[in-house]
C-alpha cells in the first residue's frame, strides 16, 4: 500500500446506494454487485474491492422507461418543447458542476480501467471541452435555422427536433468521453435518455449523479445499474425506445435491436468493432512509422476501437521494421496508472491475459513467432505485448479484433494484397498509410477513402479532434459522431409551412412578435 501515493489510495469503499429515475435519487435496498479493480493494493497480489453497485432488473428498467416516456409525453413534454436557450442553460449548469468532480472521477478511471493518470486527466478534460463545444455548435445550428424560407409560394421554418426516448450504452475503455459523446448530444437535442454505465468504469459515474439530478427536469436523464441482459433487454422489448445509442460490440447491438418489436421505428447510432490496419510502404520514414505504429497499436494496451490491429509491411523493409519495432515494444514501461512514465498498465478485464495468450498460442501453432523478447510474459493482471510474425489468414488473430496487447505483422509484395484484405474485411473504420512518394500515395488514398472512413497519412489512427466525423463502413458503425454530426444524428428535420398569403403571414408575424412559440422564433443565442 505504501507504494501507492496517498492521493490515489482507496481509503473507503464506494457503496453506490442510489440510482436516478424520474428526477429522484432513489435509495437502492436490493441485491448488489461488487466492483473490483485488477490493480492490487497489497504486497501479495489480489484484486482490490472498490465498492458495490445495484444489481437491477426488469422492474427498475420499466420504471426508467415510464419516466423517460412521460418526460417525452408524445413530444408534449417540458424537455422536448423547451426553448433551445433553456436547454443550453441546463447543460451549462451540468458541466459547471461536473468540473468539481474531476479529482474523484480521474482517480476512479485509473482504478477501474487501468488508464494512466495523464490519459485519465485528458479524458476528463476532453469531455468537458466536448460539452462546451457541443453547446456552441447547437447555438450555431439554432441560429442558422431561425428564419423563414420562401419556396414556390410556401413559407417554411425548418428546424431539428428530438426523436424520442434514447437508450444509451457506452464502452468501458472510454467510459466517460465516448459515453458522453452519445449522452450529451442526445440530451441537448430534447431527447429523454436512459443510461446504463459500462461493465468497467461504472463507479466513476457516481460523483456525477447529483449534477444530473439537479440540472435536468425529471425523467430527462435516468441512470440504471446492472447487466445489459437484465436491464437493457426489457427496455428494448418495451418498444418505447426510439434510438439505440451504443458504443461497444456488434453482437450486443444486434441482440438488442432484435428485441425491439418495431425495428423500422428504431434509429441506430452505433460505434462498433474495427480491425484498423497500417500499411507501411517501401519508401516510408521508418523512424516515424515505427513510433506511430507502437503508439497506434499499444496506447492503453491496444484497448481502443481506433487502435492499429494489424500491420502490413512491404517485404523489402519487413526485416528491418520488425527488429526495430520489436525492440521499441520491449522498451515500453509497465506500471500502475499513477506511476511516472508507465505506458503499459494493468488490464481491467481479468480474463483478457488468457484470451491474448490463446491468440498467441494459436498463431504459433500455425507458423508465427513471437519476435520480441518480452512478448507474452504474464502477471496476474497483465500480459506483455507480443509482436507476432508472420501472420496468415488461418490464424485467429488475423480475423478477431484482439482489443489488447498483441500486434500481428503481415508482409506484402503487391499493394493489392492489403487492399483486397481490407475490402474483404467485415470492418471499415480507418487506416494508417506510411510513405512519401506521391505517385504511389495519390491513387492509394483515392482507393482507401472508399474502403474506410478516415485515412491517416504517416500517423496512427485516432478518434479526435471531435469536430471531425467519427464513423465507419460495414460492421464498424451506424451513424456519424462528431460535435457537428452528433446533433444531427440525435434529431430529425421538422418544419412548419404555410402558403404565402396575407392571412397566413399575419398569423406568422404575430407568432414571431409574441414569442409564444418556442419553435417559431428568430431569437439569436449569443
What is the structure's pLDDT at 397? Answer: 98
Residue-wise pLDDT tens for the chain (526 aa)?
458 999 999 989 999 999 999 999 999 999 999 999 999 999 899 999 999 999 999 999 999 999 999 999 999 999 999 999 999 999 999 999 999 999 999 999 999 999 999 999 999 999 999 999 999 999 999 999 999 999 999 999 999 999 999 999 999 999 999 999 999 999 999 999 999 999 999 999 999 999 999 999 999 999 999 999 999 999 999 999 999 999 999 999 999 999 999 999 999 999 999 999 999 999 999 999 999 999 999 999 999 999 999 999 999 999 999 999 999 999 999 999 999 999 999 999 999 999 999 999 999 999 999 999 999 999 999 999 999 999 999 999 999 999 999 999 999 999 999 999 999 999 999 999 999 999 999 999 999 999 999 999 999 999 999 999 999 999 999 999 999 999 999 999 999 999 999 999 999 999 999 999 999 999 889 8
Q: Residues with Cβ < 8 Å from 513, sequence gap 6 or more?
A: none
What is the structure's pLDDT at 526? Answer: 85
Placement of cell 456488434 in the chain: 250
For residue 434, report the phi and psi dihedrals to the nearest 5 degrees: -115, 120
What is the structure's pLDDT at 1? Answer: 43
User: Within 10 Å of residue 503's Cβ, how many Cβ atoms?
Assistant: 8
Can you tell me the distance from the alpha carbon of 465 to that of 257, in angstroms, rounded to the nearest whole number?
30
Can you tell me the distance from the alpha carbon of 276 to that of 273, in angstroms, rounded to the nearest whole number?
9
DSSP 300: G
DSSP string computed for 84-98: HHHHHHHHHHHHHHH
Which run of H or of E encompasses 196?
Answer: strand 193-196
Q: Residues with Cβ < 8 Å from 504, sequence gap 6 or more?
A: 155, 498
Burial of 426 (0-12, 13-18, 19+ CB in 10 A): middle
Amino acid at each position: 500500500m505504501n507504494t501507492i501515493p496517498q492521493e490515489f489510495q482507496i481509503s473507503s469503499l464506494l457503496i453506490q446506494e442510489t440510482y436516478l429515475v424520474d428526477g429522484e435519487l432513489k435509495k437502492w435496498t436490493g441485491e448488489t454487485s461488487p466492483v473490483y479493480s485488477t490493480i492490487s493494493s497489497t504486497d501479495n497480489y489480489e484484486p482490490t474491492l472498490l465498492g458495490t453497485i445495484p444489481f437491477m432488473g426488469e422492474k427498475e428498467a420499466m420504471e426508467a422507461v415510464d419516466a423517460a416516456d412521460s418526460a417525452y409525453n408524445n413530444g408534449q413534454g417540458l424537455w422536448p418543447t423547451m426553448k433551445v436557450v433553456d436547454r443550453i442553460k441546463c447543460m451549462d449548469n451540468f458541466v459547471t458542476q461536473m468540473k468539481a468532480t474531476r479529482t474523484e472521477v480521474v482517480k476512479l478511471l485509473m482504478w477501474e480501467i487501468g488508464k494512466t493518470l495523464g490519459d485519465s486527466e485528458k479524458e476528463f478534460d476532453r469531455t468537458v471541452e466536448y460539452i462546451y463545444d457541443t453547446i456552441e455548435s447547437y447555438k450555431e445550428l439554432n441560429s442558422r435555422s431561425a428564419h423563414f424560407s420562401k419556396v414556390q409560394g410556401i413559407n417554411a421554418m425548418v428546424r431539428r427536433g428530438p426523436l424520442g426516448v434514447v437508450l444509451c450504452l457506452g464502452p468501458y475503455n472510454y467510459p466517460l468521453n465516448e459515453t458522453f459523446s452519445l449522452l450529451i448530444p442526445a440530451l441537448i437535442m430534447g431527447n429523454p435518455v436512459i443510461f446504463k454505465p459500462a461493465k468497467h468504469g461504472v463507479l466513476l459515474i457516481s460523483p456525477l449523479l447529483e449534477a444530473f439530478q439537479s440540472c435536468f427536469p425529471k425523467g430527462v436523464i435516468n441512470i440504471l445499474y446492472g447487466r445489459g441482459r437484465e436491464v437493457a433487454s426489457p427496455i428494448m422489448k418495451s418498444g418505447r425506445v426510439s434510438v439505440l445509442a451504443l458504443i461497444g460490440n456488434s453482437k450486443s447491438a444486434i441482440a438488442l435491436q432484435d428485441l425491439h418489436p418495431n425495428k423500422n421505428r428504431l434509429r441506430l447510432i452505433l460505434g462498433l468493432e474495427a480491425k484498423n490496419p497500417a500499411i507501411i510502404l517501401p519508401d516510408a520514414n521508418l523512424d516515424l512509422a515505427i513510433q506511430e505504429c507502437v503508439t497506434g497499436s499499444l496506447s492503453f494496451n491496444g484497448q481502443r476501437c481506433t487502435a492499429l490491429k494489424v500491420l502490413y509491411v512491404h517485404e523489402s523493409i519487413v526485416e528491418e521494421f520488425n527488429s526495430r519495432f520489436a525492440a521499441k515494444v520491449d522498451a515500453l514501461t509497465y506500471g500502475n496508472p499513477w506511476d511516472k512514465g508507465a505506458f503499459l498498465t494493468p488490464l481491467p478485464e481479468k480474463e483478457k491475459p488468457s484470451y491474448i495468450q490463446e491468440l498467441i498460442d494459436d498463431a504459433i501453432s500455425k507458423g508465427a513467432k513471437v519476435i520480441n523478447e518480452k512478448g507474452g510474459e504474464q502477471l496476474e493482471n497483465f500480459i506483455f505485448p507480443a509482436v507476432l510474425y508472420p501472420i496468415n489468414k488461418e490464424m485467429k488473430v488475423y480475423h478477431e479484433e484482439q482489443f489488447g496487447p498483441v500486434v500481428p505483422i503481415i508482409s506484402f509484395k503487391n499493394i493489392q494484397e492489403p487492399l483486397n484484405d481490407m475490402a474483404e474485411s467485415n470492418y471499415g473504420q480507418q487506416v494508417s498509410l506510411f510513405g512519401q512518394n506521391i505517385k504511389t500515395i495519390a491513387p492509394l488514398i483515392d482507393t482507401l477513402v472508399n474502403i474506410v472512413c478516415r485515412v491517416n497519412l504517416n500517423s496512427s489512427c485516432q478518434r479526435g479532434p471531435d469536430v471531425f466525423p467519427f464513423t465507419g463502413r460495414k460492421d464498424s458503425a451506424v451513424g456519424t459522431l462528431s460535435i457537428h454530426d452528433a446533433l444531427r444524428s440525435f434529431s430529425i428535420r421538422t418544419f412548419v409551412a404555410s402558403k404565402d398569403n396575407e392571412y397566413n403571414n399575419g398569423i406568422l408575424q404575430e407568432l414571431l412578435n409574441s414569442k409564444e412559440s418556442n419553435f417559431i422564433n428568430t431569437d439569436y443565442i449569443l
